[in-house]
Structure 1
Amino acid sequence: MRIAWLVLNLDGMGGTSRSAITQANAMAPDHDVTLLSVTRSADRPHYDIDDRVDVRYLVDVREDRDPATSPVPGVPARVAAALADRESVLVPARWDGQFSALTDVAMEAALPALDVDVVVTVTPALLASAVQLLPDAVTVVHQEHRSSSDRTSGLEPLLTYAPRADVVALLTPTVETWLRERLGDVAPETVVVPNPLPIGFVPRSRLDRKVVVAAGRLVQEKQVPKLVAAFGQVADRMPGWRLRICGEGPQRAEIMRQVRKDGLWDRVELPGAVPDMRGEWAKASISALTSRAEGFPLVVQEAMAAGVPVASFDCASGPREIIEHDVSGLLVGPESVAGMAAALLRLATDDELRHRLGEGAHRAARQYDAHVLAERWLGIFADARARRAGRGRLGSRALATPPRRPRVVATDLAEVAGVTPVEARRAALRAAVDAARAASDAWFVVPRDGAAPPAVVVPMSARRDLLDHLAAAGVPAYLSLRDPAQHGWHERRGPVAELARDLRRGMTTSVALEPWPTDPTTGRPGLLAHDGGVELQFWESTVDGDLVAPRRNRWVQTVPPGAGLVDHEVDGVPVRTLPLMAEPTFDEVRFPVDVVYTWVDGDDPTWNDARAARLAEVTGTATTREASGRARFVHRDELRHSMRSVHLFAPWVRHIYLVTAGQRPAWLADHPQVTVVDHRELLPADALPTFSSHAIETGLHRIPGLSEQWVYLNDDVFLGRPVRPEQLFTPAGQNAVFLSTTTVGPDEVPGAPAYLRAAWNNRRLLRDAFGVTTTSTLAHTPHPHRVSVLTEIAERFADDVGRTARAPFRSETDVSLLSSLAQHYGLATGTAYAGRAEHAFVNVSNSDVEWQLQRLLEREQDFFCLGDHHDHALPAARLDRLLADFYAEYYPVAAPWER
């Protein structure tokens, strides 16, 4: 078979070019093999190449090249210099800045004329070039080496051109799954093939020298200073042991500073680039890797081939797929210096463990033999060519293995029906606590930390046991397990039992147990998409046994062994925690909060007759549609679903008061959490009957039994997702004010609606009282209030508030007490603050109401308002159907007070 590898540069050090050279060397005895290098930077390659391999270079970039000689045959030197300064068209600089117009010219000359059966590309940029330039008869196999799914230089060209390859080979199953899920139906044939070990004899280490070896380019991604810090923590307990760091790179000076800081001059060696790493591994007894991210690290393979156990940070791909914890090495939590220190100490002081893991490493490394992998590659090439059967590259795709589609979760709809977010969180917390209790005696719970969910903690040593118990627990099917994104790698989500078993091989420090975020019937975010889960945290142990938190929380960073724990309750679930974590904090709202609604049944004929009679007695602003029109009193089942939103998304609300004109919704049952209040209990007799929300609002703070802090909700305002009381009040009791972007504008504009006239009246009172002016109206959100502040306003501005209370319809003399005046008064007196929330307003009379409702179903807002108007673009029946369907999807769970 005629096979060519297309690489960017053969001459430098690097795992990608080394892997290509090793594969080519392994196949050279039996096949026609070519290494085609886009650039040439040295007189000879850094790694040895079999004499039977044909090596070709396209662009000569050697520094000592004669400048009068063109770097590309056939291109004049002056033209070549100009082309080298221009951006590549085949490979834009945002993909890979190492390409230029000159490399384009060289590849355009060489690739169309390449007479081979198979071309293997080793970077996404080279794949892009190959599929654009190679003859269609050539089979293109791309080998992806990148370890991160979001490195800009690799993501775009890979996702763009991978579908045009015959085969894409990935280093690990994790990367393969990611690529298939991203590409979906256009995914090519994919295979998983690891990198090979270099060909040749590998001396075996006797593991009797007190040397820890790390190797690689000294760059930030490798985090070598963390290795030095870890070694420094245990150096005194490892007498005679040395740390030897092989390699060069920009972080060398920083590493030396870390060595000096920790007083390790006589214990840490930095020999630079070492030409014979096989000899280094033969003298090592421990290998260490502290990278933030890896693809398929050759240094780990080489160490294992020499029988050296490896202590490594876990990564989203790479180490966890090479090292089997406690069999061929030790994995520790990502970034955990304490965990690395403990692992080094274990290996250095436990001879039996070190030799057992060394034997396991040597045994595991056999699978990376270059000749064994060469046979696999030949099979992959042959299969790809057979699928061609004379067809073009894309024409053969019909015979490729059908792509595995992203998992569609068949959640049992009957099981999830009726489950609220808080019930889902309780179910997740109970399942996590049960698994933690079965796995370790040292478990405890970190309560909710602001917006962060509760976390169930066990030592890292109990991680596998916890995942095993969780996999066997039979948790509700609406719960999923999520492996969070880290260091550029995508997150994973799956059924609890399935993903828990898969996660056993790694040492990630946290996973989330939470509801599936998507409704299986609609594909949109579901009711349980937010705030329905808990976190599982695995804390590494120091050499002294202290547990170390993987990231900051507000209470502790380390917990000593045997720390006392107390019984506590989180979300209604009995747990245990540290005494400090059971105490109230300064940023928790712990006072009761009630909700007040105002509502009328606009279809009640008796009430409508009274409205008509009262309207006949007034003149002016009160007679306008904006002040007294029927649209102000039409209901479309808003109240039922707004109250559902409180039940679903604010379970911390103590009580709901419904203020009406002696009416009661037919669907509202008697319930201890809901009280219906008549206008007659709140307003003076001479103010009744009233049909003005401004008037009704003047009396709401007088509801008997109402909490000091309470929230006013118009019946067309809804909670859109779980809301915490801290979003509405400070722990000291101040209430949030949600200002809108709509301006009040200048005073006394002719023909202004009643709400603007009220805003002007509010402005006059506040200007006279405080010497400040109002500029913004309030957003259509819940309005948090304080009884004491409203009482103070009613007394201070008694005439204006009293006049408003006695106006039967909105009038030009009104103040808007609860929807503007009190909020601005609070800002002026320090009893309120400007809050922030995601909110939306939908005018249901608009022609695009269906599109706007669909947007709301993405559940991206804390609050929203469905405002109405007198004139509608849609027929009433169609609008009612749209709203009914919207309510059914957004709020599918009835509240306990519904009949």
Structure 2
Amino acid sequence: MHLTLVIAELGVGGAERVLTTLAHEWITQGHEVTVLTLDDGAVPPFFALDPCVRHRPLALARPSHHPLIGLVRNLQRIRALRHALLACHPQLVIAFMDQTNVLTLCATVGLALPVIITEHTDPVPARLPRLWQLLRRLTYPWAAQLIVLNASMLDYFSPQVRKHSRVIPNPIIKPPTAPLSQATGLHNHSILLAMGRLVELKGFDHLLRAWSKVASHHPAWVLEIWGEGPCRTALETLARQLELGDQLRLPGLTPDAYRTMHRADLFVATSHYEGFSLVLAEAMACGLPVVSFDCPSGPRELIRDGVNGLLVPNGDIDALSRTLDHLMRHPAARQKLASRAPELLDRFGVGSVMAQWDTLIKELVAP
């Protein structure tokens, strides 16, 4: 079977990581896979694609500084994407993330081609520009199936869309065993780890404020926030104002999340909202004790509070600092959570998730 996957780009992000995993698994199963991206391909994929995947950048991602120019360029994108899809001769198209979903549905009108669209974050309307909200409402009923990452995300969509929707979570790759040289407790300090794009929605400013309340009580601990993004300068400025000094590191991007996680002693997530929180799931798969804001649509699907991790009221900086302080003071409490964390692989491991995708594909594509 020939599958064509459509996404804006293959940079750093959860949806991009998931696409890479799915493409590899489908290649392993013997399918043909083509990935169409809207960028020009000047920046190589951050997560390496399987060598057998065909990647075709379409160079359609130019910025628009006026609504009329934006309209014209989106019509051009739809036309070019339609031609690219026809050239691929796919039996099934899978689009990733809201605006790309809309463009793909428009590009496939009248082609009698099943299109699966996927949402990868909490689809609250205020987080998408008003015009794109309207286009989403108009076009999503055209999809053969909408995939969301958890049941609460379905509540946003109309009954018409929900009739052709289902929950398929992100697949979590089983981490390799940590080499002895990377095992926790073998460095001269302990690491509180966070990871994600340096953007407002990840809430790293809240994390810095929470850390500033307890860091002086734990001089052997260092907070590392791995990632890049437009908020780096603001976070560095805030860190100086809070006088975090050597107890904060912003090392940039990591090419190997699991290798970085194996060095850590505790993981923290502070997003304002999520769809699934892939890095949180990966930290748990590594056997890290985890703490997360109980934000909409994500962490509560992964964490059983007090069993395999801890949930903190969303945005409550004081509660977060108290929880971190408790876990840093009590290794036994960390170990108790860590011992249960990898159990989520039973629900979200690659084999389980791919079986759900395989069932869906067989339903949509006649043999």
Query: How does the TM-score come out when normalised to structure 2?
Result: 0.88
Match of 1:152 among 125, 128, 140: 128
Q: Distance in 1 between matches of 2:106 and 2:78?
A: 11
Highest RCO, 1 vs 2 (Cα 8 Å, sep ≥ 6) = 2
C-alpha displacement of 1:338 = 0.7
C-alpha displacement of 1:300 = 0.5
The residue that corresponds to 1:256 in the other structure is 236
Q: Distance in 1 between matches of 2:113 and 2:78?
A: 19
Task: Say whether 1:131 aligns with 2:130.
Answer: no
Task: Say whether 1:44 aligns with 2:18.
Answer: no
Q: Distance in 1 between matches of 2:56 and 2:351?
A: 24
Q: Distance in 2 between matches of 1:268 and 1:112?
A: 50
Check 1:251–1:59 CA distance in 2 against 1; reply closer, same or farther (3 A cut).
closer
Match of 1:325 among 293, 297, 305: 305
Residue type at the aligned position of 1:189: H
Secondary structure in 1 matching 2:28: coil
Q: Deviations over 1:403-443 (max 9, x none)?
A: xxxxxxxxxxxxxxxxxxxxxxxxxxxxxxxxxxxxxxxxx
The residue that corresponds to 2:24 in the other structure is 25
Q: Deviations over 1:461-516 (max 9, x none)?
A: xxxxxxxxxxxxxxxxxxxxxxxxxxxxxxxxxxxxxxxxxxxxxxxxxxxxxxxx
Check 1:186–1:260 CA distance in 2 against 1; reply closer, same or farther (3 A cut).
closer
C-alpha displacement of 1:251 = 2.0
Check 1:52–1:320 CA distance in 2 against 1; reply closer, same or farther (3 A cut).
same
The residue that corresponds to 1:285 in the other structure is 265
Check 1:100–1:128 CA distance in 2 against 1; reply closer, same or farther (3 A cut).
closer
Secondary structure in 2 matching 1:40: coil
Q: Distance in 2 between matches of 1:230 and 1:217?
A: 19
The residue that corresponds to 2:290 in the other structure is 310
Q: Deviations over 1:766-817 (max 9, x none)?
A: xxxxxxxxxxxxxxxxxxxxxxxxxxxxxxxxxxxxxxxxxxxxxxxxxxxx
Task: Say whether 1:227 aligns with 2:207.
Answer: yes
Secondary structure in 1 matching 2:8: strand
Check 1:202–1:222 CA distance in 2 against 1; reply closer, same or farther (3 A cut).
farther
Q: Distance in 2 between matches of 1:166 and 1:101?
A: 22
Q: Distance in 2 between matches of 1:20 and 1:271?
A: 25
Match of 1:334 among 305, 308, 314: 314
C-alpha displacement of 1:237 = 2.7
C-alpha displacement of 1:58 = 1.8
Secondary structure in 1 matching 2:15: helix
Q: Distance in 2 between matches of 1:106 and 1:276?
A: 35
Check 1:49–1:60 CA distance in 2 against 1; reply closer, same or farther (3 A cut).
same
Q: Distance in 2 between matches of 1:250 and 1:327?
A: 35
Match of 2:159 among 176, 179, 184: 184
C-alpha displacement of 1:126 = 2.6
Match of 2:354 among 374, 395, 415: 374
Q: Distance in 2 between matches of 1:297 and 1:384?
A: 28
Q: Deviations over 1:27-63 (max 9, x none)?
A: 111212221212224252111111121212222779x
Q: Distance in 1 between matches of 2:202 and 2:260?
A: 19
Structure 2 unaligned spans of 5+: none
In the TM superposition, 1:30-109 aligns within 5 A as 30=29, 31-59=31-59, 86-88=69-71, 100-109=74-83
Q: Deviations over 1:360-396 (max 9, x none)?
A: 111213433234322210111112235xx9xxxxxxx
Q: Distance in 2 between matches of 1:123 and 1:226?
A: 27
Structure 1 runs of 4+ off > 4 angstroms? Answer: 204-207
Compare the two structures and name the one with the higher helix fraction: 2
Task: Say whether 1:194 aligns with 2:177.
Answer: no
Residue type at the aligned position of 2:105: V
C-alpha displacement of 1:254 = 2.4
Q: Distance in 2 between matches of 1:88 and 1:381?
A: 33
Task: Say whether 1:361 aligns with 2:336.
Answer: no
The residue that corresponds to 1:174 in the other structure is 152
Check 1:44–1:362 CA distance in 2 against 1; reply closer, same or farther (3 A cut).
same
Q: Is the 8 A contact 2:96 2:119 kept in 1?
A: yes
Check 1:253–1:138 CA distance in 2 against 1; reply closer, same or farther (3 A cut).
same
Structure 1 unaligned spans of 5+: 63-80, 90-98, 390-899
Match of 2:178 among 200, 203, 210: 203
Check 1:249–1:124 CA distance in 2 against 1; reply closer, same or farther (3 A cut).
closer
Q: Is the 8 A contact 2:95 2:115 kept in 1?
A: yes
Q: Is the 8 A contact 1:243 1:269 kept in 2?
A: yes
Residue type at the aligned position of 2:91: D
Q: Is the 8 A contact 2:175 2:258 kept in 1?
A: no
Q: Distance in 2 between matches of 1:124 and 1:61?
A: 15
Q: Is the 8 A contact 1:148 1:293 kept in 2?
A: no
The residue that corresponds to 1:164 in the other structure is 142
The residue that corresponds to 1:550 in the other structure is none
Check 1:248–1:130 CA distance in 2 against 1; reply closer, same or farther (3 A cut).
closer
C-alpha displacement of 1:278 = 1.6
- Identity over aligned pairs, percent: 29
Q: Distance in 2 between matches of 1:380 and 1:264?
A: 49
Q: Is the 8 A contact 2:92 2:115 kept in 1?
A: yes
Q: Is the 8 A contact 1:286 1:309 kept in 2?
A: yes
Secondary structure in 2 matching 1:59: coil
Residue type at the aligned position of 2:314: P
Residue type at the aligned position of 1:251: C
Secondary structure in 2 matching 1:291: coil
C-alpha displacement of 1:166 = 1.1
Secondary structure in 1 matching 2:219: coil
Q: Distance in 2 between matches of 1:332 and 1:353?
A: 16
The residue that corresponds to 1:298 in the other structure is 278
Residue type at the aligned position of 2:8: L
Q: Is the 8 A contact 1:207 1:308 kept in 2?
A: no
Q: Distance in 1 between matches of 2:162 and 2:315?
A: 34
Q: Distance in 2 between matches of 1:340 and 1:331?
A: 9
Secondary structure in 1 matching 2:36: strand
Secondary structure in 2 matching 1:28: helix
Secondary structure in 2 matching 1:281: helix
Secondary structure in 2 matching 1:266: helix
Secondary structure in 2 matching 1:27: helix
Q: Distance in 2 between matches of 1:44 and 1:241?
A: 35
Q: Distance in 2 between matches of 1:33 and 1:335?
A: 41
C-alpha displacement of 1:192 = 0.5
The residue that corresponds to 2:89 in the other structure is 115
C-alpha displacement of 1:188 = 3.6
Q: Distance in 2 between matches of 1:357 and 1:127?
A: 38
The residue that corresponds to 1:274 in the other structure is 254
Q: Distance in 2 between matches of 1:259 and 1:186?
A: 45
C-alpha displacement of 1:138 = 1.9
C-alpha displacement of 1:207 = 4.4
Query: How does the TM-score come out when normalised to structure 1?
Result: 0.37
Q: Is the 8 A contact 2:4 2:88 kept in 1?
A: no
In the TM superposition, 1:739-888 aligns within 5 A as none
Secondary structure in 2 matching 1:48: coil
Q: Distance in 1 between matches of 2:336 and 2:115?
A: 43
Q: Distance in 2 between matches of 1:355 and 1:199?
A: 20
Residue type at the aligned position of 1:47: F
Q: Distance in 2 between matches of 1:110 and 1:47?
A: 23
Q: Distance in 2 between matches of 1:140 and 1:235?
A: 50
Q: Deviations over 1:53-82 (max 9, x none)?
A: 1212222779xxxxxxxxxxxxxxxxxx9x
Residue type at the aligned position of 1:184: P
C-alpha displacement of 1:102 = 3.9
